[in-house]
Amino acid sequence: MRIKNCRIRGREGLYDVACADGKFTEIVQHKEDSKVADDEGLNAEEFDAKGRMMMPPFVEPHIHLDCVLTAGIPHYNMSGTLFEGISTWDEYKTTQPLAVSEIKERARAALRLMAEHGVQFVRTHVDVTETSFKGVCALEELKEEMKGIIEIQTIAFPQNGIISLKNGRELMIRAMDMGMDCVGGIPHYEYTREYGLESIKFIFDLAEKYDACVDVHCDEIDDGQSRFLEVLATTAWERGWGERTVAAHTCAMGSYNDAYCSKLFRLLKDSGIRFNSCPPASTHLQGRIDTFPKRRGLTRIKELTHAGMNVALGQDSISDPWYPLGVGNLLRVLEMGVHVAQMTGYEDLSHCLDLISTNGARNLCLKDSEYGIETGKDANFILLDGKDDLEVLRFQSPVLLSVHNGKIISRKEPVRAEVSF
């Protein structure tokens, strides 16, 4: 396969890019008369990018694939709070006939939406406090089936807590034994602060035992007193686990005072942990109990980023008890994210796609060979109907081509309106 006449994000000029056997084989300056090399044979495909931008694929660092497309069953979340989301999911788990095949079908439908929008790497939470473990089985099977098409990492996520459940620890161990990739947690939802602290120690003990990454829902609440992030970061720092640790949501940081944050940032930086934020989901779920002024309920995306820390944006939900919207499109998540975080200055906008691509790749600890447009690496890329970050965000440019390991997983024709004047 050869893509002619494309921009490559982050580089000057125009290029011709070739791939074969699932790898990038040639990346050269564009030549007007460049031809497909003879030895590529009859099946070689050639695309004229007409100056559009190629980049590594989008990365979804945080979604709950076991819950997708369940909104309204058995009823909608009427208050829009996180806690009604959790209780509605509890009702779903206990009233609906759960089947591995049905969970896989919903998750696959969500993956198709994501594929259309250029996502090739996904990290998903899976509720391990749903004790039939159908969700765990479904996502572990789907992870294997999707290999080479979309790469999935699974997180053992204790939706109802670890220490606050009589058998919470056993459920986590069982999930890790079944092959889950990362250890999750929810310290702000444990019954007490002490339970929250105990859960963090347990999470890292498990991560060390299974040599796994840590990815914890941390302080997903508008309570400025919810300070599990400092414990998570300190534990990661003590154990040398920073680069393998993600603090997800950290909404409470939007309510911390600046003096505390300036102390906290030193630790966060030293610990090397990474961050995730889900702007549409959190602006929807948080601030619900405020009247006015109403908090935004987001972590400090801009400040963390400007301090040199890694923040990736994710969807969290696609039509589930927590969030009724979502179509698998990270450009929408990014558009809301840059507004709510006020990253709408030129400098931030000019490399905003980092937040849904390279930063996500770092959170997922992807291998160097899997990510990046360079000769010899896996041929994973997308071609966008735009020329740079600002244009792509502004026009919400469609992904015209999504190629994984050299194979096309999604294609779309550019849409052009005919305006009468």
Stretch that binds Fe ion, among 97-105, 312-320, 366-374, 411-419 (CB under 5 A): 312-320
As a three-state string, the secondary structure of the chain is CEEEEEEECCCCCCEEEEEECCEEEEEEECCCCCCCCHHHCCCCCEEECCCCEEECCEEEEEECCCCCCCCCCCCCCCCCCHHHHHHHHHHHHHHCCCCHHHHHHHHHHHHHHHHHCCEEEEEEEEECCCCCCHHHHHHHHHHHHCCCCCEEEEEEECCCCCCCCCCHHHHHHHHHHCCCCEECCCHHHCCCHHHHHHHHHHHHHHHHHHCCEEEEEECCCCCCCCCHHHHHHHHHHHHCCHHHEEEEECHHHHCCCHHHHHHHHHHHHHHCCEEEECHHHHHHHCCCCCCCCCCCCCCCHHHHHHCCCCEEECCECCCCCCCCCCCCCHHHHHHHHHHHCCCCCHHHHHCHHHHHCHHHHHHCCCCHHHCCCCCCCECCEEEECCCCHHHHHHHCCCEEEEEECCEEEEECCCCCCCCCC
Contact 129, 165 (CB under 8 A): yes
Q: How far is the CB of 201 from ligand 17E (least distance, A)?
A: 20
Q: Residue with CB nearest Fe ion?
A: 316
Residue written as tokens 């919810």? 226
**Based on CB atoms, which residue is closest to ligand 17E, 92 or 202?**
92
Which of the listed partners (Fe ion, ligand 17E, none) does 220 bind, with a CB threshold of 5 to 8 Å by partner kind? ligand 17E
**Based on CB atoms, which residue is closest to Fe ion, 130 or 316?**
316
Positions that interact with ligand 17E (CB under 6 A): 64, 82, 86, 159, 186, 217, 220, 281, 316-317, 322
**Based on CB atoms, which residue is closest to Fe ion, 251 or 338?**
251
**Based on CB atoms, which residue is closest to ligand 17E, 27 or 175?**
175
Kindly provide the b/e burial profile for residues 304-340, where b requires at least 16 CB atoms within 10 angstroms of the residue's own CB: bbeeebbbbbbbbbbbbbbbeebebbbbbbbbbbbeb
Q: Residue with CB nearest ligand 17E?
A: 322
Contact 146, 111 (CB under 8 A): yes
Which of the listed partners (Fe ion, ligand 17E, none) does 204 bind, with a CB threshold of 5 to 8 Å by partner kind? none
Which of the listed partners (ligand 17E, Fe ion, none) does 322 bind, with a CB threshold of 5 to 8 Å by partner kind? ligand 17E
Q: How far is the CB of 262 from ligand 17E (least distance, A)?
A: 27
| Catalytic-labelled residue, pool 60, 140, 190, 220 | 220
When asked if residue 316 is in the footprint of Fe ion (CB under 5 A), the reply is yes
Q: How far is the CB of 311 from Fe ion (least distance, A)?
A: 15
Q: How far is the CB of 384 from Fe ion (least distance, A)?
A: 27
**Number of residues located near Fe ion, criterion CB under 5 A:** 1
When asked if residue 219 is in the footprint of Fe ion (CB under 5 A), the reply is no
Which of the listed partners (ligand 17E, Fe ion, none) does 317 bind, with a CB threshold of 5 to 8 Å by partner kind? ligand 17E
Stretch that binds Fe ion, among 191-199, 285-293, 311-319, 410-418 (CB under 5 A): 311-319
**Based on CB atoms, which residue is closest to ligand 17E, 186 or 309?**
186
Which of the listed partners (ligand 17E, Fe ion, none) does 281 bind, with a CB threshold of 5 to 8 Å by partner kind? ligand 17E
Active-site residue, 220 included? yes
Stretch that binds Fe ion, among 20-28, 91-99, 148-156, 310-318 (CB under 5 A): 310-318
**Based on CB atoms, which residue is closest to ligand 17E, 251 or 355?**
251
**Based on CB atoms, which residue is closest to Fe ion, 278 or 304?**
278
When asked if residue 320 is in the footprint of Fe ion (CB under 5 A), the reply is no
Q: How far is the CB of 254 from Fe ion (least distance, A)?
A: 16
User: Which residue numbers are catalytic?
Assistant: 220
The residues that touch Fe ion, with contacts defined as CB under 5 A, are: 316
